[in-house]
Amino acid sequence: MNEKKLLKKLGFPTNFDKLTEEQRYKYNSVRQKKIGNKKYDYFEITEPGHSKKIMKFKNIKDWDYKEYKFQKKHHTAVRPVYDQLYMPGSWFRVLELNDFGKRELTYGSLESARSFLFQLVFEKLNDLIDLKYPYIHVRPYGTKMFEKTEDKRFSIMTSYETRACGFEKERKELEKKLFELYNEIDDTIVSMLKPYQGYTFRKYSDTPKYDMLDSFIIGGFEAAEDISFKTFLKDFTKRQQPVEYLERIGEQIYRKYKKRLLKK
């Protein structure tokens, strides 16, 4: 059944762009049952064509290693050896059983504990810099706020300058200092995660169901070797621990490098 027919059957507008967020969620829930494989909990990652390929991998670690090799070939910001899960975050959706025994669509991000903590710590440290030396966006004098695109269909914001209210030098020094701590923070995260290699964690979104994106976090190689895409939910849940364990580690690391960052 094509998109318009399914929308019509659900009693929704046949123009997908006119659907509300709740209607899109309902549509995707029904669609998932039609395109997904019930045997695999209707699991679908990134795009439909890719989902069939990942089912051929023995476990998540094998898949992650292939992704790592691809990224290492095309990018430089990757650890030189595969000694940790790469897994920076891949979007997926799956139908899981709710408390009433009915399948419910879940949007998720598959990521490693290392990636989760790295993002958590760096966001807080960047927020610290923003708080100390906030940037403001200034439109150069005499320029228009918006300009038409070439086809005159859309208006785009013109170029603007960012300023730190006279503290540009101090802000840049902190940004440079944080960048220089990049590898050290990464190594600290890896070290503190050693006791959690065999666990999984789930960070539940606090937004409405139709707009949520849960983080499905893999502790390390031990857990990744025991999780198959074919039995993802079952394997993941079997090793699941409270995400607060990771958040406490993140807070410890943040406090340590907050002092380092602000130390003159």
Instruction: Tell me the pLDDT tens digit for each residue of 13-41.
Output: 888 888 888 888 888 888 887 777 778 77
pLDDT value of position 257? 96
pLDDT value of position 163? 65
Domain boundaries in the chain?
16-262
> How far apart are the C-alpha atoms of 40 and 61, rounded to whole Å?
18
The H or E element containing residue 189 is: helix 182-192
Under the banding of pLDDT at 50, 70 and 90, the label for residue 49 is very low
Answering whether pTM is above 0.85, one says no
> How far apart are the C-alpha atoms of 259 and 83, rounded to whole Å?
29
Instruction: Tell me the pLDDT tens digit for each residue of 122-179.
Output: 999 999 998 888 877 665 555 555 555 555 555 455 555 566 667 788 888 999 999 9
Under the banding of pLDDT at 50, 70 and 90, the label for residue 52 is low
Residue where the block lists tokens 């059957």: 9
pLDDT value of position 71? 86
How many Cα atoms sit within 13 Å of 61 on the Cβ side?
14
Token pair in block for residue 62: 């094998």
CB 132 within 8 A of CB 174: yes
> How far apart are the C-alpha atoms of 43 and 232, rounded to whole Å?
8
> How far apart are the C-alpha atoms of 254 and 118, rounded to whole Å?
10
Residue 119 has pLDDT above 60, yes or no: yes
Averaged pLDDT of the chain: 85
